[in-house]
Amino acid sequence: MAALRCTCEQGTNLWGEFWWIEGEHRWVFFDDEKASETYAEQLTHCRGCGRSLERKGLRATTPSLLP
C-alpha cells in the first residue's frame, strides 16, 4: 500500500494497492480522505483534474513505503 496524491494537487489523498487482476498486476486506487463521502471507495479518476489515475501520474506522499 502507498499513500499517493495526484500531481494536480487538487484531488483528494489516495492510497494505492498493487493487485493481481485477470493475469496482470494493476494499481487500484482508493479515496483516503476521511471527510469524503466516498472514503475508502475505489477511484478511477482524479476528482481535481479529472485525469484517469495511473501510478506514474501520482506523487507518493510516503516515499518510504513505496514498493
Residues that bind Zn ion (CB under 5 A): 6, 8, 11, 46, 48-49
Strand partners, 41: none
CB of 17 to Zn ion, least distance (A): 19
CB of 44 to Zn ion, least distance (A): 12
Within a 10 A sphere around the Cβ of 32, how many other Cβ atoms?
19
Residue 44 or 64 with smaller CB distance to Zn ion? 44
CB of 5 to Zn ion, least distance (A): 8
Nearest CA to 15 out of 4, 27, 26 is that of 4
